[in-house]
Amino acid sequence: MYLKMSINYSLVLKLAFLAFFFIPFTQVNAESDILIPAAPSLAASSYILLDADSQRILAESNPDVVLPPASLTKIMTVYVVFRELKNKRLSLDEMVTVSDKAWRTLGSKMFIEVNKQVRVEDLLKGIVIQSGNDASVAIAEHIAGDERVFAEMMNQQAQRIGMTNTHFVNATGLPAPNEHYTTARDLALLARALINEFPEYYRWDKEKEFTYNGITQKNRNTLLWRDESVDGVKTGHTEAAGYCLVASAKRDDMRLISVVLGTKSTSARADESQTLLNYGFRFYETHKLYDANTVLTTARVWKGASDVVNLGLAEDMYVTVSRRHYKEMKATTNVDLKPLAPIKVGDSLGVVNVMLRDKIITSKPLIALNAIEQGGFLRRAYDSALMLIK
């Protein structure tokens, strides 16, 4: 009897020890039932950590709370300008005449001079590196004629990207209560779009200083000096917004985007952002599983001019999982039963499921990679009869 009670007492002590020291620092991953360290809790109004390729959210707190973005607004400002460059409606060497309004704009400055002409490329660097409000207004007026009209262009792009809780009224981020706002989630989507669509211009985000008109100013993103993997994106600060930072870093083949809003100081926004990034890189890994537009499987087509259609993905497929569990994943393809012609390129005809420990962790639609026209009368009649049998 004594021996039996002694063993139970020891077991209770062990369980109590584990409960006290281990459980508060871990969480069960809902997708895979794997114990991983809990995401850090930050001293910020809102934050989010996103894998740029898989789009998996690794940490978040109040990501959809609407807040003033301050100078993080300029991420969208340059995004619109980059689209104008890509569509050849603007060139880097194009000259912009600085208006009195641009010159007088309050806040951080590039120190451009009224009625002087400045190259588009210099204005962009003045926005990206120096966070120049004057440069933002000058280029907005050059493109749209008026800053308010340019803000509507910003809103159009926000809708296209999927920024559902965002509205802009200026190109700078100067306060406009109840009119100019966004969320951490929306900013993460914007940063991802900027990085993916414009790598040739995004490289400016990691430049540590820029000199214009004899004045050298340093990039306010202090993580650029602290962490070599960080290569952007933008800082922001107003009294209402607090100290904010959208940061991105790439280590090996994994890119993470962090958004931290409403911290108390410049050092706090950097520290909290670094904490998020370190957490993501330490405990997760991202792998590319399949290329876009590559044949993964085929499907039997009924009543078509051809009886086989190639199936694949519309975009590259990435997956982010907790470290050391990549080899446990399995991918399966599920094809729709008896797809009928006609079939257009891009039609969804099934799904790719990625499983970890018998749970789906991500899915992508299987699409037709080639078109199949409707077959002739005899083919349709023959397949109709065959379908009845099968």
User: Exposed e or buried b for every residue in 139-165, given b needs 16+ CB within 10 A?
Assistant: bbbbbbeebeebbebbbebbeebebeb
The phi, psi pair for 383, rounded to 5°, reads -70, -35
Q: How far apart are CA 191 and CA 232, in angstroms?
A: 9
Identify the helix (H) or strand (E) that includes residue 256: strand 254-263
Asked whether the CA dihedral 180, 186, 188, 189 is positive or negative, the reply is: negative
Q: Is 71 an annotated catalytic residue?
A: yes
Q: Is 6 a catalytic residue?
A: no
C-alpha 386/C-alpha 390 separation (Å) is 6
DSSP state of 265: S
Query: In the structure encoding, which two tokens stand for residue 73, read together?
Result: 């607004």
The answer to whether 234 is a known catalytic residue is no
| β-bridge pairing 215-218 and 26-28 | unpaired
Catalytic residue among 74, 125, 303, 364: 74
Residue with tokens 């933008």: 234
Q: Which of 32, 46, 71, 273 is catalytic?
A: 71
Beta strand residue intervals within 14-162, DSSP E: 26-28, 35-37, 46-51, 57-61, 95-97, 117-119
Helix count (H) and strand count (E) of the chain? 11, 18
| CA within 13 Å, CB half, 116 | 12
One of 54, 131, 136, 273 is an active-site residue; which one? Answer: 131
How many Å apart are CA 296 and CA 114, to the nearest integer? Answer: 59
> What is the Cα–Cα distance from 98 to 116, expressed in whole angstroms?
6
Taking the CA atoms of residue 128, residue 133, residue 136 and residue 141 in that order, the dihedral angle to the nearest 10 degrees is -170
- Separation of CA 174 from chain center: 24
Residues that are catalytic: 71, 74, 131
